[in-house]
Amino acid sequence: MTAVIGVAAGDALHAASAEGAPGRPHAALKQEYLDAVVAQGAAPLVITPDAAAAAAAVTARIDGLLLVGGADVDPARYGETPLNDSVSPGPARDALELALLASVQTRGLPILSICRGHQLLNVSRGGTLWQDLPAQRPDALRHGQCGPPDADGHEVRVAPGSLLHRIVGAERLAANSFHHQSVRRLGRGLQASAWSADGMVEALEDPAQRFVLGVQWHPEELLARPPHRALFQAFVHEAERRTTG
């Protein structure tokens, strides 16, 4: 059966459309995320940031959850205050996505979380983040790459035997990199499954679950490359298993 993938949207305050003047709030989601789901034969269900109170009802109607990139997680969620002006929290999204993660994990549904989603997954388990790598880790690689989104940013090393390794079938992977924050202390029950050369956690997973995976890079921009497309293939395949019980 066709799997229904819940995709949590962000908001764009300055979007213009035929329905309203620029400056009015719009729910927003980069098309590539939806295309990546549809290309695997699944149906995306877009979840808007104001749906936090309905997270359990939404969860009952989906077979997998995709969390995507966007604004920074509010540092208050891990007991800190914003380090500097580069930190731009999106509190409404935090509330929605934390509620979704809680109810989805109760049902044991597959979770693929990307960039901000990867960081939020870590925070949801009590983990912390580097709020601003250029300020806090000037020794780190350049993780905010220039150039097109499908250009190589840096390589990642994949942990042998991890879920990620089984999916991509390689111990080294060229990835893109568009983040100024990064996982710092890992959350409960999570293991790192990929690192950049400077030791930053570029992927994490919960080995006690069938499919709870976060990646710091943007595979939705790299669908022409089999290892990155395979992330969506494996995720949707796992969601399809849920539809047949």
Contact status: 119 vs Mn ion (CB under 5 A): no
In the beta sheet, which residues pair with residue 6? Answer: 45, 65
Decide whether 102 or 197 has the Cβ nearer to Mn ion: 197
In this structure, the dihedral spanned by the alpha carbons of residues 161, 167, 171 and 174, taken in order and rounded to 10 degrees, is -150
- Per-residue tokens: 69: 């990139």
Decide whether 143 or 242 has the Cβ nearer to Mn ion: 143
- In Å, how far from its chain's centre is CA 216? 7
Decide whether 36 or 156 has the Cβ nearer to Mn ion: 156
CB of 214 to Mn ion, least distance (A): 13
How many residues sit in the footprint of Mn ion (CB under 5 A)?
2
CB of 63 to Mn ion, least distance (A): 29
Residues 160-219 that bind Mn ion (CB under 5 A): 177
Decide whether 104 or 168 has the Cβ nearer to Mn ion: 168
**Spatial distance between the Cα atoms of 34 and 7, rounded to a whole number of angstroms:** 8
What are the residues whose beta carbons fall under 8 Å from the beta carbon of 240, sequence distance 6 or more? 1, 2, 3, 42, 63
Decide whether 26 or 143 has the Cβ nearer to Mn ion: 143
Per-position x/- string for 21-50, each x denoting binding to Mn ion as judged by CB under 5 A, each - no binding: ------------------------------
- Residue number with the smallest Cβ distance to Mn ion: 177
Q: Which of 116, 118, 143, 229 binds Mn ion (CB under 5 A)?
A: 143
CB of 153 to Mn ion, least distance (A): 6
CB of 236 to Mn ion, least distance (A): 25
Stretch that binds Mn ion, among 7-15, 31-39, 60-68, 137-145 (CB under 5 A): 137-145
Nearest alpha carbon to residue 142 among 169, 113, 182, 87:
182
CB of 103 to Mn ion, least distance (A): 29
Contact 129/82 with Cβ under 8 angstroms? no
Per-position x/- string for 65-84, each x denoting binding to Mn ion as judged by CB under 5 A, each - no binding: --------------------
Tell me the catalytic residues.
115, 218, 220
Contact 204/198 with Cβ under 8 angstroms? no
The phi, psi pair for 215, rounded to 5°, reads: -125, 135
Which SS3 state, helix, strand or coil, does residue 176 take? coil
Contact 182/133 with Cβ under 8 angstroms? yes
Contact 224/150 with Cβ under 8 angstroms? yes
Residues interacting with Mn ion, by CB under 5 A? 143, 177
